[in-house]
Structure formats: C-alpha cells, structure tokens
C-alpha cells in the first residue's frame, strides 16, 4: 500500500541535490591531433589505461595539444536500503545514480542493510586500468510475484532486492511481477576486447511508461515505485515508473609495461644482464652492442650460442 502523500512533501525539502547527474567521461591529453583519421590512430591507445575511446576528441591548444575522451568501465554497483526518507550512503568514492521508495515488503541492500522506505543505487569506476583490473560485464533484473527474491543467472552476484508497488515490474529476461524485484551483476577480469558496462543510469517517470534512457543504452528493466517517488540519474523525478539502463563498450587490459627501457643505457658496461643487452640490440636498435655483427650483443655477458 502506498504511504500518505504527506511523507513525499516532507522529503522534497530533505533531498536537495543528492547525487551526481551523470558519470562523466574522462579526457586524456594526446599531443597534437590533426584530423579525424589521426584521432582514430591515436585515441584508442591514449585511452588504453582509462577505458574505451568514445569517438570524441578536440584541440585544446592549437597545433600543440588535443585530448581524447575516454569512458572508464564500471567496476562495481551496490544497493543500499533505508528506513528513512533519506537514502543510506554508499561506499566511499561511489557515485549515487538515483533512489526510489520501495513498497511495504521492504528491501535489502548489497551491504546487508534493510528498510521499508528508501533504496539507492551506487556505482564505482575505480582508477586507471591495470593488467588485473576487472569490470561489471552485465546487469540483470528479475521480477516476481512472490515475497521471495527471484533467482538470477548462474554465476551472477545478487546486488539486492526490493518490493515494487502495485504497477508491477519487468525484468531483463521478460519476467514480470507485482512483488519482489532483484538485481544481479556479473564481473570479469578485463582481457582483450572485454565487453564492460561503461555507464549505468536510472530514469524516473510520472506515468506508467518508462522514461527513455541515454542514446544507444539498453533498458535492463523497470518497476513501479511507492508514493515517496524517485530520482533518476538525469535529474528526472516521478511517482510511478523507474527504469534502469546500461551502456557497454569493448575494453582491453593495458599491455604490460616493458621490462626494460631504451633510455639512458648505451654500452655493454651499463647492461644488467644478457637479456637486457638483447632488448637494446633488437628492440632499441643499438647496433653498437654487436661489434662483430653476428647477432650476439655484449659477448662478455652473452654466450655465442644464446
């Protein structure tokens, strides 16, 4: 049953500006970029440690500096539940994407929090990518007409669940229901071309039709909120339909840093090992290390049959 509208009136004054309106893309300096073809050659590698290139670039200092726009992968999503009209805070450094009022059956958050009022969704994008970075590869919603939260896809982690209002809900798999809805996510280590979620957004509506999400995003599901209403990532508000959207992009883990560098060392006396000598000969092109031109550098430290 919906709560009295008086509760909602009181909550409007309590919320202010509770969350960031969007997960902004990052800009990374790339040196001068002369045209679109040059950008297509440079920006994918410039964005390698920051996610995926969005396809956008611009010049900041004519003839000297341009930037590539990179979109980082989502590394984690979490739900929090509250028994008050104020959303429970998420983990430190996470961005609140939106919040909504749950129905009388209550809710449970990722952190074990429970409540019968406000539920909020948070996401994290972490920092620069490393060889061991992981990302959220998929988000799914499951709807049910049971008091028990519905099961998710095999191997997925349950993020949380909540009771929807009488208008019901639609899950990612086509499931429908008027009671418990559950959210699930899958994560994986980023390798070559891993399809990672790069953006998650909520939209709120005052009608029975879900408000559209960002361009090219996929709707994950939608549900009816209780009388206390909802707040979307885009600043939308409403007392009826809330929807969840996501975008994905192919992201590759950054290449391992070279074991050696071509800088500084120039002679056999500065080489720390035979392996390093071969690196400077074959990778850096330092032919002075192979005086007799037999393909073996620094023969004082490298055997002839290396």
- CA 202 to CA 220: how far, in whole Å? 10
Question: Mean pLDDT over all residues of the chain?
Answer: 88
3-state SS assignment for residue 279? helix
Q: Classify residue 277 as exposed, middle or buried by CB count within 10 Å of its CB (0-12, 13-18, 19+).
A: buried
Please report which confidence band the pLDDT of residue 102 belongs to, taking 50, 70 and 90 as the band edges. Answer: very high
**pLDDT for residue 177:** 98
Q: Are 143 and 94 in contact (CB under 8 A)?
A: no
Fold (CATH) for 26-71: Dna Ligase; domain 1 (3.30.1490)
Radius of gyration of the chain (CA): 26
- CA 102 to CA 179: how far, in whole Å? 10
- Of 220, 204, 211, the C-alpha closest to 171 is 220
Segments making up each domain of the chain, as ranges: 26-71, 73-251, 260-306
- CA 218 to CA 44: how far, in whole Å? 24
Mean pLDDT across the stretch 41-61? 90
**pLDDT for residue 17:** 32
Q: Give the predicted TM-score (pTM) of the model.
A: 0.77
**pLDDT for residue 16:** 32
3-state SS assignment for residue 274? helix
pLDDT tens digit sequence for 111-142: 999 999 999 999 999 778 888 899 999 999 99
**CA distances in angstroms from 217 to 93, 194, 203, 245, listed in the order given:** 24, 18, 12, 6
- Of 203, 141, 47, the C-alpha closest to 150 is 141
Fold (CATH) for 73-251: Vitelline Membrane Outer Layer Protein I, subunit A (2.100.10)
């Amino acid at each position: 049953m919906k709560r009295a509208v008086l509760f909602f009136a009181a909550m409007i004054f309590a919320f202010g500006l509770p969350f960031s309106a969007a997960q902004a893309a990052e800009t990374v300096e790339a040196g001068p970029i002369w045209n679109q073809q040059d950008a297509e050659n440079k920006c994918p590698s410039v964005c390698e440690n920051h996610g995926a290139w969005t396809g956008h670039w611009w010049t900041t200092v004519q003839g000297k500096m341009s930037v590539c726009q990179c979109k980082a992968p989502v590394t984690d999503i979490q739900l929090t539940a509250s028994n008050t009209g104020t959303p429970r805070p998420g983990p430190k450094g996470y961005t609140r994407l939106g919040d909504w009022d749950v129905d009388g059956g209550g809710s449970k958050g990722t952190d074990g929090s429970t409540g019968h009022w406000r539920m909020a969704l948070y996401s994290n994008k972490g920092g620069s990518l490393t060889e061991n970075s992981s990302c959220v590869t998929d988000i799914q919603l499951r709807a049910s007409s049971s008091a028990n939260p519905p099961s998710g896809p095999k191997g997925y982690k349950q993020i949380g669940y909540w009771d929807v209002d009488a208008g019901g809900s639609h899950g990612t798999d086509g499931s429908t229901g008027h009671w418990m809805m559950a959210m699930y996510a899958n994560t994986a280590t980023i390798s070559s071309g891993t399809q990672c979620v790069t953006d998650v957004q909520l939209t709120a509506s005052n009608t029975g039709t879900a408000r559209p999400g960002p361009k090219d995003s996929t709707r994950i599901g939608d549900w009816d909120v209780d009388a206390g209403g909802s707040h979307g990532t885009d600043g939308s508000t409403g007392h009826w339909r809330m929807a969840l959207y996501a975008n994905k992009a192919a992201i590759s883990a950054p290449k391992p840093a070279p074991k050696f560098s071509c800088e500084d060392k120039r002679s056999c006396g500065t080489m720390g090992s035979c392996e390093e000598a071969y690196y400077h000969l074959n990778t850096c092109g330092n032919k002075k290390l192979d005086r007799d031109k037999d393909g073996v550098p620094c023969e004082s430290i490298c055997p002839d049959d290396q």
